[in-house]
Copies of this chain bind each other. A is one copy, B any other.
């Protein structure tokens, strides 16, 4: 069993779906294993804007990889109000909640036209026994998820509106870059309302601060279109080393 490491680039070329890239990224798997993994991908789904991927409380038994477009996840509280939990770009995974009982504790919905791949958990678990590294890869993904949530708790609890928006933009920029898109210019697929909800702010506050960043030449913004003009200063604001007053 030759555990030949293969890098991100060759993986991307050799495999039919980018979701695998994500699963395999942290530590390499060999080609044979990758192809058994390929077989696990049940289907690729094309989604229209606002179409649900999975619903809170529903049995599903899959995790999902975004192939194109973008997706948000959110929980619905007893009183019906929503809390956006995250936005997911191409190459990112969602649905790691409800990994045990196969019941999702949040919902996923397409923010624009999107394609996603479904990975049935049970088959993945079976494969985990066969492929030594895979179990670890899955744990790695989950671990990341927990760490991301913790970062988010810090952001929500301790940062002011300016820092929240700056952090959000820097974070998106970095994720676009990691996926091969421009880090300086991108489109927000989510509404101001969604951003506000995600960051614990009123949507008016989001609007106001985007305008303020624009006035200060940190970014250029026109509705959904965003351009990062001064990455460094924006980081400064995010980190709290610097503010606009």
- A residues touching B (Cβ–Cβ < 8 Å)? 26, 75, 77-79, 81, 83, 85, 96-101, 105-106, 125, 129, 135-136, 139-140, 142-147, 149-154, 156-158, 197-200, 239-240
- Residue of B81, B85, B136 near A100 (CB, 8 A) is B136
A interface, by DSSP: helix, strand, loop or mixed?
Answer: helix
A159 CB to nearest chain B CB (Å): 9
Partner of A157, one of B78, B83, B147, B149: B83
* Smallest CB separation, A245 vs chain B (Å): 19
**Smallest CB–CB gap between A205 and chain B, Å?**
13
For A144, list chain B residues within 8 Å (CB): 100
6 A-B residue pairs with CB within 8 Å: A77-B158, A78-B239, A96-B146, A97-B147, A99-B139, A142-B142
**A157 — which chain B residues lie within 8 A by C-beta?**
83, 156, 197-200
